[in-house]
Structure formats: structure tokens, C-alpha cells
Structure 1
Amino acid sequence: MDTALTFDITRRLPGTLARAGVIHTPHGEIRTPAFIVGGTKATVKAITPEQIRSYGGQAVLANTYHLMLRPGADIVRAGGGLGSFMNWDGPTFTDSGGFQVFSLGIAYKKGIDAVAHTQKGNAKLAVVSRNQLVRVTDEGAEFRSHIDGAKLLMTPESSMELQHTIGADIHMAFDELTAPLASHETIAAAMNRTHAWAERCLKRHSDLNMEHTERGENLQALYGVVQGARDKALRRESAAFLGARKFDGYGIGGVFEPGEISSVVRWVCETLPAEKPRHLLGMGSQPADLFLGVEYGIDTFDCVAPTRQARNGALYTLNGRINISNTRFKADFSPIDAACDCYTCQHYTRAYVNHLFRADEILGATLASIHNERFVVRTVDQIRESIINGTFFAFKQQFLARYYGDKLPAGVSL
């Protein structure tokens, strides 16, 4: 493949920003919309790469910050690059480490993360904590490793170098994420820094791709990451700024509730170049996220919530989420979800998985994770098919009404 990435839009849904298409990478195609499986440390927790493929996963996203610390980017490269190292032969993504600027900085020890982002016991999300492990300057982010406290600096240039060393097909530019309720001045400053970093990322990325060309290696793609929190003007400004640069696609960063997707994502996707793919970073913990994201222009998602929730016994079903550890499932010999075609539902019962969790057996996490990942992957596959055959709105209404009943998330309507 002589280009880093190409994107073909094959179908658009009238009256919306939704579209179906295909992203072509050196390691295969991604049919969009698609859920990108979260493999933070070059592994999807409790699941093998072979299982990922068996339940329909098309691509995996790993975390640059974590791989930099363990096992080290050079070890990943020596193992043949991210895909070969983890025995995955499909497309791969890496994020930039930008989220760690947020999670180790303003969010550190405040109960804020990509899924549940309330600040427990404190209404001011912009408070600076003495426990922060990161200091952000125009140069980059100075980290204290959460593992051993070692001091290290990540810059736009080093983020690109790390991602190229790790060797994923698609990278994210280094960005600064702010708390959702930070002041306008703080959000604007972080956005402007993200823009300056994006231009530095582009330059270093281009130089590194030239080196790949000279060595006869695959080119790697780079997405710019749009910031601006919940501010309409800033989101549109960020999308316009980055959209005018030669990125291969775009990530949308931020921390917001599902009900905000229809506004924030729409502002961004209406402004970004229509012919480039768009990725919603860290979103997909609820089915509503998937439908709203697609409807307002998202092509790919990533989220670790399906496996995280699975390891805690929270399983998706068409009739809503259940806690498989509950006593009521102890003698329930039906599958987790009778409509599910995953390995777990085809071979095991609720009673058995309940037993595994109550006995604290590792197999419980594996069977639950296989089910949740298949549920989310299949849901996005069905959304894609509904765009192609023109039944998106009917499918959305039927699915969300059954899953949530009369308890739709705030800001979500049928």
C-alpha cells in the first residue's frame, strides 16, 4: 500500500451526518461505522486476539503512554510492531498519551475518567491537585510515572516517535484534554496548545514517514484531535483549524455525557472535511453512545468499558444491562442473552457464569468479556447495515426502547 490510509464512503443517510464506508490500511480494511476494540497495553483484557477476530472485531487500539512504560516501545518494535507483538494481523490504532495528561493531571485522584467523570466531593473540576503526576507546558507534558515515579517528558515529537516505533497503522496527534467544567480561558488555552502541538506532530510524522519510505516500510496515518470541551465556538474553531491541515483523519477528544454527543459531535463533524474518517475517542460505554455518534457523523469508536464492566459482572443484553453476580441468576440455566451468537451464549448459562463470579474464577472474566465485546461489535455492525438498507431510525428506536425501556439516558430521545 503506497498511502497511509484511504477512506471510501459508500452510503450516506439522508437528513443526518451518518455514513457507511471502508477505511483501507496496510493491514486490512475497516468497514465503518465500526467499534475499535480497546487493547490498552497491547492486550484486550481477558481475551485473546483469536477471540477478538472470532467475535467480529476489526481493529484494536493501544495506549502509547502505557506501552512506553511497559514493555517499552523498542521492545514492541523488536517484536515486529504492535500487531505482530500481540499476534493480531488486522488494523491497529494508538492514541497519543494525551488522555494521560488529563487523568494524571487535573483528574488525578478525583474520580474522573472516560466513562464516569464526576468529581466526587468537589464541584470545581478545574482545581489543581497537589497529587498531580504531570505538569503541562508549551513544550509538552512532564510526567511522573504512575508505576515507579520516574520523571519523563512527552512532547508532540516524542509522541510521534513512540507511535511510529510501536508501529500502529493509525496514530493520534498529541493533545491536551481539559476537565469538562473548566473555565473558558482554560479550555481555550488547552485548545490553542493542542493546535500548536498538532502542527509539530504533523511535521515530525511526515519526517518519520519519509524514513519509512526510504526503508520500504508501510506508511502510518495520523489523525488530528479536536478539542474545545462543551463550547460550541471553540469546538468549531478547533475542527476548522485542524480540518485545514493535512491529517489523514480526525479524532474527537473530550469527556461528556451521551446526551451531549448530539451537540458536541455534530458541531465538530459539520465542520471537519466530509471525506476524512472521524474517530470518537473513549466513547461507547452505553448503546446510546453508538447510535448518537453514528447519527452525527462518527465512523469509528473505541472504549474499554465493555471489558471493564464485564470484569465487574455487568453484562449487556437486549433487555438492558444485568449484574450476573446477583442471586437471581444462581439457578438460571438460560444464556446471558438468548439473541446473542457469541461463544459464551452458545456454550454457557447464566447460572454457570454466576458461579464463576461468585467463586472468583478467572474464566468468568473471559466469558463475560467475550459476550460484552461481541454485543457492542454486533450492535455497531447492525447500525452499519441499517444505514446501508435505510432502516437506521427504525432500528435505533426498536433497539433503544428495548434496552432502556422508559429510562433513556438524559438528552437521548427516540
Structure 2
Amino acid sequence: MPALTFDLLATDPASHARRGRLTLNHGVVQTPIFMPVGTYGTVKGVMPRSLHDMGAQIILGNTFHLWMRPGLDVMQSFGGLHGFEQWDKPILTDSGGFQVWSLGAMRKITEEGVHFQSPVNGDKLFMSPEVSMQIQTILNSDIVMQLDECTPYETNGHNTTEAEARQSMEMSRRWALRSQAEFERLGNPNALFGIVQGGMFKHLRQESLEALVEMDFPGYAVGGVSVGEPKDEMLDIMAHTPHRLPAHKPRYLMGVGTPEDLVQGVAEGVDMFDCVMPTRNARNGTIFTRYGDLKIRNARHKTDHQPIDTTCSCYACAGSPGADGAGLSWDQGGRAGFSRAYLHHLDRCGEMLGPMLTTIHNLHYYLNLMQEIRDALDAGTFAQFRLRFQQDRARGV
């Protein structure tokens, strides 16, 4: 059996949106899908059981951070990341390139790879396409990402020029070839994705795309967005690139974004998304709801008996089913969720339960949003869904 199969199940005639099914070594993923980010082998503040319950189908791991800690010897002893973190569904790992790039003065990028100092203990280390493939093979992730150079929006205090973006894109293209060759040499049984780069220049994006398609990767990602560029420029690249990738292969938009970004990304032909926004924002008191964003730290929530969102079925909003599955676990048959007042109190007191509950809600909201998108695509009502989504989000909490 191939490491990846992608079945296109439905398309939207009014946009580039599509409904698919992605089959990987550790299970099936229904697309479009949002992938929660588990940097250190855990989605912050969320039990694996909660991820299952909220419908997470695939999660991310971070190659760079897992290489730093706990290290490859530990990972190898568990047979990879699945056994280490006790997750039996698919995992995607990034290449480590973004994290190495973000080290700034602590790293030096050359054609061979990146020399850098470990942010953990100061050791001198080297990351190359070959090293990234070796690490990800030990992690045994279902989807492996090529090592690329993340093209910044700004370089040395000025907007990245076309020449600088081209130089970066062409090196990423050469690194894609090296990643592919090492992946095959290692006999990795999983799937390797290529990453389209080119900064904010559409013709460079097109060159990168065409070169990667020639390499015939099982799937493709659009990288180098959400790196400091204005929102309109990010949306411009999102409108240009995804639908030009092969229709019979999955398309992944890296590091994006808000609920509005996800719906727009689906309309542009994206199948897979990831972003730290739902978890990071939850820890900082921002909660996503059907009717807009809620700032739980605002004083107006101090005495508010409402749950976060009366339409939400997550544990934070509605409680959990009883042991027999017939009712709620506590109260007399009504809603058993937590009030905004309680969440406000937890946040003010710095209690860890607060961000745990808001993270559960935010991830549930994102995953449920994707389920609603899939349902609309199945029913042929995606255009109506988009309009209703926009109206609801604009209404306000």
C-alpha cells in the first residue's frame, strides 16, 4: 500500500473548495482539516483523550524541538513519536527549518545547511536536508516536510527584494531535491511533502510550484506566509498558489490562521491547515466563538453566568456526557458548562484550569468549523455556509 492516498470526493462549482479523504499509515483524515500543533510532543494543556473527543484527526510535532529534547535516542527507543506521546492517529512533523531560521544571530545559513547553537545548552549543531530527513525518519511521522528556508517578509530592516526572495526560493528548491534523495535512501515508509516558497512574488511562487511538481511529491505545502507580511499580501498569495497545485494531491497551507483565514483558504483550494493561534490565544485570554472573538479578561465577564458560546458542545461550554452517555455529568439536565465569570476568575488568579478549558474550547471550535465546512461541501451548500459564517462572526459575542 502507498504511504499516502488522496481521494477527491466533491468540489464547489463557485470556488476552488474541495472535499477529500487522505489515507496515511496511521489512519484516515477527512479534509479540509485543521491540525492542532503539538510542538514538544503535546498539544499544550490538552489531554490526548480530549483531542480524540473533539475530533482531532491529525496533529503536528516539531522536529527541531524534539531533536533538542528529549533527543533521538529516546525517540528511537519508543519507535517514534506515536509511541512516545501515546497518539494512535496520524502525525505531521515540520522540517525544523522555521525554528532554525528564527534563531537569528545564533545561526548561519549556507548551501550545505544551517550551523547554529542549541538554545537549550549552547552546543554547536548542524541541520541539513539530510539531517532533517534522518530525524523525521526516527520520529516516524506520517507526513514529513522537506527542509526549506523560510523566506522572511523583511531582511535586514527592509522588505525582502525579488532578488533575495529568488535566492531563498532556489535554495529551498535544491534542498527539496536533497530531502527527497535522502528520504528515499533511508527507505522512509511515510510521505514527503514539498514546500512552495517565493515570498510575496507570484511569479517566483509559480516557478517554485512548477519545479516541485516536476519532483512528484505525494503532497505539497505553501510556506513562507504569516511571517510578518500585511494581511492583504498573505491573502493575495493564498488566492494565487493553492489551486494551481495538482488537483489529485493534498494541499497544505502552513501556519494559517484565523477562522476567517481557514474559510477563505478552503475557498482557495486548501485541504490542510495548522496554526498555534487557537492554543496560544486561549492561553492569553482570547476565545474564538461562532459569533466573534471573546476577551475573557475584560471586566464585563466578572459576573456573567453565560458559557463561552451557547451553541458550542465542547466540555468547557456544555460539560461532558454522563457515564451512560444519556445526560450531563452534573446538574439537573440543563447545560453543565463553565460560566464566563468562572473563566474570568481563573484567568485573574493564574489558575492553570483556565487556559486548559479555553484551549479545549478554541480547538473544538476550529475542528467543528472544519466539520461544518466538510458537511457543506458534501451537501453542495458551501456558498451559503460562507455567507452564514461571515454574518455570524460579524454579529459579535
TM-score by length of 2: 0.90
Amino acid at match of 1:176: E
Instruction: Report the counterpart of residue 317 of structure 1 in structure 2.
Output: 289
For residues 193-232 of structure 1, the C-alpha deviation after alignment (integer angstroms, 9 at most, x for no partner) is 00000000001101112xx5xxxxxx11000000011101
Contact 2:193 2:217 in 1 (8 A): yes
Q: 1:265 Cα shift? A: 2.5
| 1:196 partnered with 2:178 | no
How far apart, CA to CA, are the structure 1 residues paired with 2:47 and 2:75? 18
Q: 1:261 Cα shift? A: 4.7
How far apart, CA to CA, are the structure 2 residues paired with 1:258 and 1:84? 39
Instruction: Report the counterpart of residue 260 of structure 2 in structure 1.
Output: 288
3-state SS of 1:20 partner: strand
| 1:301 partnered with 2:291 | no
How far apart, CA to CA, are the structure 2 residues paired with 1:258 and 1:75? 41
Amino acid at match of 2:303: A
For residues 43-98 of structure 1, the C-alpha deviation after alignment (integer angstroms, 9 at most, x for no partner) is 00000111111111111111100111011123122123111211111010000011
Residue of structure 1 aligned with 2:124, choices 137, 151, 157? 151
Instruction: Report the counterpart of residue 64 of structure 2 in structure 1.
Output: 65
Percent identity of the aligned residues? 42
3-state SS of 1:238 partner: helix
Contact 2:25 2:90 in 1 (8 A): yes
Structure 1 window deviating more from structure 2 (314-323 vs 61-70): it is 314-323
Q: 1:352 Cα shift? A: 1.1
Instruction: Tell me the matched-pair count.
Output: 370
Residue of structure 2 aligned with 1:389, choices 366, 379, 384? 379
How far apart, CA to CA, are the structure 2 residues paired with 1:319 and 1:273? 35
Amino acid at match of 1:59: I
For residues 12-63 of structure 1, the C-alpha deviation after alignment (integer angstroms, 9 at most, x for no partner) is 1113221101000111100000001110111000001111111111111111
How far apart, CA to CA, are the structure 1 residues paired with 2:295 and 2:32? 28
Q: 1:147 Cα shift? A: 2.0
Q: 1:262 Cα shift? A: 4.2
Residue of structure 2 aligned with 1:167, choices 124, 140, 143? 140
How far apart, CA to CA, are the structure 2 residues paired with 1:261 and 1:294? 15
Matches for 1:260-275 after TM superposition, within 5 Å: 260-275=233-248
How far apart, CA to CA, are the structure 2 residues paired with 1:15 and 1:399? 16
Instruction: Report the counterpart of residue 409 of structure 1 in structure 2.
Output: none
Amino acid at match of 1:158: V
Contact 1:35 1:300 in 2 (8 A): yes
Instruction: Report the counterpart of residue 223 of structure 1 in structure 2.
Output: 193
Contact 1:261 1:292 in 2 (8 A): no
Contact 1:261 1:289 in 2 (8 A): no
Contact 1:38 1:304 in 2 (8 A): yes
Amino acid at match of 1:40: T
* Unaligned residue ranges in structure 2 (runs of 5+): 154-158, 319-336
Contact 1:6 1:24 in 2 (8 A): yes
Amino acid at match of 2:211: F
* Unaligned residue ranges in structure 1 (runs of 5+): 106-131, 213-218, 407-414
Instruction: Report the counterpart of residue 310 of structure 2 in structure 1.
Output: 338
Structure 1 window deviating more from structure 2 (75-84 vs 30-39): it is 75-84
Instruction: Report the counterpart of residue 34 of structure 1 in structure 2.
Output: 33
Residue of structure 1 aligned with 2:207, choices 219, 224, 237? 237
Amino acid at match of 2:383: F
How far apart, CA to CA, are the structure 2 residues paired with 1:380 and 1:73? 34
Residue of structure 2 aligned with 1:185, choices 163, 173, 179? 163
How far apart, CA to CA, are the structure 2 residues paired with 1:303 and 1:66? 17
Runs ≥4 residues deviating over 6 A: none
Instruction: Report the counterpart of residue 24 of structure 1 in structure 2.
Output: 23
How far apart, CA to CA, are the structure 2 residues paired with 1:191 and 1:53? 38
Q: 1:159 Cα shift? A: 0.2
Q: 1:255 Cα shift? A: 2.5
